[in-house]
């Protein structure tokens, strides 16, 4: 059975972030898709929180992790700081992803556990990152 990962921030295909390139080298892009949720701009990266309304959607990319799934997920946990002792900023959990091609699948998704302010909400549900935004 395939393991899938849904990414919505610095790991998206066209972000040019070094970790996004590394993910592209190790996993196969499956499709673009959405998850139910709200996206918040936390500065150099976004945070995904639970939806408040039925229309709350976050856009991202789905990767098939293939035979190297356990290693890739371990590396992604380290990148997202999801393996630290509590309180961790992110939690990885399986989530239903609606694919752009009309299908759906269950994928691992990193959910933000920290506090957010409403003025940080990304109403479009899509976070765009480029290397010029990286800290000094």
**Bond prior to 87 in cis (omega within 30° of 0):** yes
- State the residue range of the domain holding 22: 4-128
Q: What's the predicted TM-score (pTM) here?
A: 0.90
CATH value at residue 40? 3.10.490.10
CA atoms within 13 A on the CB side of 51: 12
Q: Are 75 and 54 a contacting pair, CB within 8 Å? A: no
The predicted structure's pLDDT at residue 8: 97
Residue 129's pLDDT is 59
> What's the rounded mean pLDDT across residues 6-14?
94
- Whether residue 38 is contained in a domain is answered as yes
Q: Let me know how long the chain is.
A: 136
pLDDT digits (tens, 9 = 90+) for 45-80: 999 999 999 999 999 999 999 999 999 999 999 999
Asked whether the predicted pLDDT for residue 15 surpasses 90, the reply is no
Asked if residue 134 is part of any domain, the answer here is: no
Q: Average per-residue pLDDT in the chain?
A: 91
Helix or strand (DSSP H, E) at 25: helix 18-26
| Residue 84 falls inside a structural domain | yes
Burial of 59 (0-12, 13-18, 19+ CB in 10 A): middle
């Amino acid at each position: 059975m395939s393991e899938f990962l849904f990414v919505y921030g610095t790991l998206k295909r066209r972000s040019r972030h070094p970790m996004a390139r590394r993910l592209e080298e190790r996993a196969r892009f499956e499709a673009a898709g959405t998850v139910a949720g709200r996206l918040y701009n936390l500065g150099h990266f976004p945070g995904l929180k639970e939806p408040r309304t039925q229309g709350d959607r976050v856009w991202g990319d789905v990767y098939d992790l293939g035979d190297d799934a356990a290693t890739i997920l371990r590396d992604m946990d380290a990148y997202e700081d999801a393996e630290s002792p509590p309180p961790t900023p992110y939690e990885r959990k399986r989530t239903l992803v609606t694919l752009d091609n009309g299908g759906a699948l269950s994928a691992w998704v990193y959910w933000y556990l920290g506090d957010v302010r409403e003025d940080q909400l990304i109403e479009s549900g899509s976070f765009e990152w480029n290397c010029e935004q990286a800290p000094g």
